[in-house]
Amino acid sequence: MTLSSVYKRRKKKRVVVLLILLIILLILLYLSLISGSSGIVWKDSTKLFSLSEQDKTFQIIVNSIRLPRALAGIMVGALLGLSGAVMQGILQNPLASPFTLGISQGAGFGAAIAIIVLPEYTIGSSCFGEFYIAISAFTSSMLCTFCILWMSSKVGMNPTSIILAGVGLGSLFHSGTMFLQYFTDEMNAAATLFWTFGDLSRAREFSLYILLMVFIPASIFFLVSHWKFDALCFGDESAFNKGVNVNKFRMVALIVASLCAAVGVAFFGIIGFIGLIAPHMVRMIIGTSHSILLPLSAIFGGVLLLGADLLARTFLYPIVLPVGILTSFIGAPLLLYLLVTLKRIKE
C-alpha cells in the first residue's frame, strides 16, 4: 500500500467520522426539541416542522425553553471538548482537563462567594442574580488560571508543574467552597450546592451569544496553530527547533483554553468529564493529528453533553437530573475503561 493511498484512506475515514458525528448531533437536537416534562413526545414532530400559528404555546416552549437548552448543551460541550483537547495537547498529559486543572473548582468558589458572601446582589431580579453569579464564577476560574501560570512560570512552564499547580489550587478552591457552606444558612448552602451540579436549564439568549463569541475566535486560533500542537508531541526541544516559542505558546493556549472552559462553567455550573473524555474518544478513532482532533473533540463534546442532558431529562422521569451529575456517572467508568485500554490509544 502506497503512502498516497494510506493518506486518502485516512482522509476518507476522518470525513466519515465527521459526518456521523454531525448526523448524531442533529438527531439529538431533534429529540431535545420534542422532549419536555413528560419525556419524548413523538406527536410533537408535526408541530415542530410546521410550527403552526394555531399553537402559540408550543412555539413559546420550543423557542424559549427547549431550543436554548439544546443549543447550550452543544455550545458548552464543544467548549469543554475543545478546551480538554488543547490542555492535553500543550501539557502532553492524558489527564489534563478543565476539571483536573482546577478551573471548574475555581468557578464553584466564585459562585459560592456570590451566593453566600454577597447575597444582596443575587436576590431580587433572577436574571441579574444569575448574571452576577456567572461573572463571579468566571472571575474566580480565570484567577485560578493566572495563579497556575504564575506558579508555573517560576519553574519554566513545566507541564508537570502546571498540572500539580492546578490540582493543588483545585483542592484549595473546593475547600474554600465547603468552608463557606459550613458557616452559612441552609438555604444558601443548598443554592450553592445546586449550582455546582451543572444545569442547562439556565440557558438564556444572552448567555448563548457569550458562548458563541468565545467559541468562534478560540476555535480559529487553535486551528491556525494546530501544527504547534503536533510539534509539541515530539517534545519541547523538537518543537523549539521547528519554530515554536514553547513557553509563550503554552501560556497563551492555556489562557484561551481556560477561558473556553470558564465561560461555559460560569453560566451552567460544574460539568465534569466532558473535557477529559471527548478528546480521548476522538483520539481512539482518528489518531493524534490536531488539525482534525481539535474540531472533532469540540463536536463530540457537544454530542456527549446534549445526549447526557436528554438522558438526564428522561432516565428517571418525571424526575429531571442535573446534567452534571449524569456526566460524572457516565464519565467515571468511561475514564476507567480508557485507562485500561490506554495501550490501544497509543497505538
The pLDDT tens digits for 271-301 are 888 988 899 889 888 888 899 999 999 999 9
* Per-residue pLDDT, 318: 74
What is the residue range of 185's domain?
Answer: 13-31+56-346
Task: Determine, yes or no, domain membership for 40.
Answer: no
Task: Determine, yes or no, domain membership for 305.
Answer: yes
Task: Determine, yes or no, domain membership for 5.
Answer: no
* Per-residue pLDDT, 219: 95
* Per-residue pLDDT, 185: 85
pLDDT in tens, 163-218: 888 888 999 999 999 999 888 888 888 888 888 888 888 888 888 999 999 999 99
* Per-residue pLDDT, 122: 54
| Nearest Cα to Cα of residue 70 among 100, 29, 101 | 29
| Average pLDDT for 24-40 | 82
When pLDDT is cut at 50, 70 and 90, the band that residue 18 belongs to is very high
* Per-residue pLDDT, 22: 94
Q: What is the CATH number of the domain that holds 298?
A: 1.10.3470.10
User: In the chain, pLDDT over 90 holds for what percent of residues?
Assistant: 31
Task: Determine, yes or no, domain membership for 21.
Answer: yes
Task: Determine, yes or no, domain membership for 289.
Answer: yes
Q: Quick one: 149 exposed, middle or buried, by C-beta within 10 A (0-12, 13-18, 19+)?
A: middle
* Per-residue pLDDT, 39: 62
pLDDT in tens, 248-269: 999 999 999 999 999 998 889 8
36 - beta bridge partners?
Answer: 39
Task: Please answer whether residues 85 and 297 qualify as being in contact, where contact means their C-beta atoms are separated by less than 8 angstroms.
Answer: yes
Q: Which of 14-18, 146-150, 336-340 has the lowest mean pLDDT?
A: 336-340
* Per-residue pLDDT, 120: 59
Q: Could you count the other beta carbons within 10 Å of the beta carbon of residue 227?
A: 15
pLDDT at 345 over 50: no
pLDDT at 347 over 80: no
The tally of domains found in the chain comes to 1
Query: Whole-angstrom Cα distance, residue 295 to residue 272?
Result: 20
Task: Determine, yes or no, domain membership for 90.
Answer: yes
Task: Determine, yes or no, domain membership for 2.
Answer: no
* Per-residue pLDDT, 53: 56
What is the pLDDT of the chain when averaged over all its residues?
Answer: 84
Q: Which of 27-41, 58-72, 226-240 has the lowest mean pLDDT?
A: 27-41
* Per-residue pLDDT, 72: 94
* CB environment 240-277: b (16+ within 10 A), e (fewer): eeeebebeebbbebbebbbbbbbbbbbbbbbbbbbbbb
| Nearest Cα to Cα of residue 261 among 29, 91, 102, 109 | 102
Task: Determine, yes or no, domain membership for 44.
Answer: no
328-336 long-range contacts, CB within 8 A, separation 24+: 328/272, 328/273, 330/273, 331/272, 331/273, 331/274, 331/276, 331/277, 332/273, 334/273, 334/277, 335/273, 335/276, 335/277
